[in-house]
């Protein structure tokens, strides 16, 4: 397993198309609608903490002013982690493929929410090892006059075993307990879509993406976020992209 290089990131963007000799394909999993064929869908927990946004607005969202035209299928999901009142906030997907990339939005300033984007990831494992702070790693704003960056690669893995199903979970915010958590670790997360890279030989077997799937069970069986999920630090992918 390895982090996507900048060249591979470019090749895996939704607008990129594989030629006739390519052995891979990309599957877009929208934050709301899932994949086009219905095989893959994001599972949100707690469901009421994740707010669904669209051109019609975003009831309960803290981040405002998002241009629905600039997001995949005109939708996004927002989750806010309050360090003063910590709770487990996750987005999980079961998938088959050789790679997975998570794309989202990065707010610069907002009067109602922190602009910190801090999260953890777990991929087929249950061992903790740190956090990813996109806020601190992104450097200069991609657009100095904008209040929001769209289509930002937040985390990516490739080189996965294509013959097995994978369990990817993203955890929003700080994983420390209430006594050790600090205000600066409050976080906002804006999910746009997930991109799955597959070999053309990947089977069409059905993966359970319901609320009772093993992905959901893995998250719910570990109430303490400190010992709940594995974390893979993947700074170089988004650092190389955002610093370009």
Q: What is the pLDDT of residues 98-131, one digit of tens each?
A: 999 999 999 886 656 788 898 989 899 876 555 7
Q: Is residue 8 classed as helix, strand or coil in its secondary structure?
A: helix
Give 3's DSSP letter. Answer: P
Closest CA to 91 of 119, 63, 67: 119
Element housing 134 (H / E): helix 134-137
Q: Specify the fold of 6-242.
A: Jelly Rolls (2.60.120)
Element housing 229 (H / E): none
CB atoms within 10 A of CB 32: 17
Task: Please state the separation of Cα 102 from the chain's center in Å.
Answer: 4
- CA angle in degrees (0–180, nearest 5) for 189-195-201: 155
Alpha-helix runs per DSSP H in 29-137: 134-137
Q: Give the integer Cα–Cα distance in Å for 241 and 152.
A: 8
Closest CA to 191 of 58, 26, 30: 30
Q: Give the integer Cα–Cα distance in Å for 97 and 221.
A: 26
Q: What b/e readout covers 208-234, taking b as 16+ CB neighbours within 10 angstroms?
A: ebeeebebbebbeeeeebeebbbbbeb
Q: Give the integer Cα–Cα distance in Å for 151 and 135.
A: 15
pLDDT score, position 180: 52
CB atoms within 10 A of CB 206: 8
Say whether the peptide bond before residue 69 is cis (omega within 30 degrees of 0): no
pLDDT score, position 239: 39
Q: What b/e readout covers 166-197, taking b as 16+ CB neighbours within 10 angstroms?
A: bbbbbbbbbbeeeeebeeebbbbbbbbbbbbb
pLDDT score, position 127: 62
Give 217's DSSP letter. Answer: H
Task: Pick out the chain residues at pLDDT < 50.
Answer: 2-20, 140, 178, 206, 208-244
Output the pTM of the full model. 0.73
pLDDT score, position 186: 86
Contacts of 143 (CB under 8 A, 6+ apart): 149
CB atoms within 10 A of CB 5: 14
């Amino acid at each position: 397993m390895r982090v996507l290089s900048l060249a591979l990131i470019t090749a895996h963007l939704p607008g990129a198309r594989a030629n006739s000799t390519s052995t891979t394909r990309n599957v877009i999993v929208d934050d709301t609608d899932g994949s086009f064929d219905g095989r893959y869908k994001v599972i949100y927990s707690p469901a009421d903490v994740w707010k669904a946004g669209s051109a019609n607005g975003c009831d309960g969202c803290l981040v405002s002013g998002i241009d629905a035209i600039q997001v995949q299928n005109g939708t996004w999901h927002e989750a806010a982690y309050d360090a003063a009142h910590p709770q487990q906030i996750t987005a999980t997907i079961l998938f088959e493929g050789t790679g997975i990339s998570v794309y989202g939005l990065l707010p610069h300033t907002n009067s109602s929410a922190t602009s910190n984007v801090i999260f953890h990831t777990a991929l087929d494992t249950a061992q903790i090892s740190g956090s990813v702070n996109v806020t601190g790693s992104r450097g200069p704003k991609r657009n100095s006059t904008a209040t929001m960056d769209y289509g930002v690669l937040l985390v990516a893995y490739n080189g996965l075993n294509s013959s097995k199903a994978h369990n990817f979970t993203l955890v929003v915010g700080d994983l420390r307990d209430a006594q050790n958590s600090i205000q600066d670790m409050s976080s906002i997360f804006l999910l746009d879509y997930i991109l799955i890279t597959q070999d053309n030989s990947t089977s069409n077997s059905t993966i359970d993406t319901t609320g009772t799937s093993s992905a959901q069970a893995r998250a719910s069986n570990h109430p303490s976020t400190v010992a709940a999920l594995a974390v893979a630090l993947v700074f170089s992918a988004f650092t190389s992209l955002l610093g370009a």
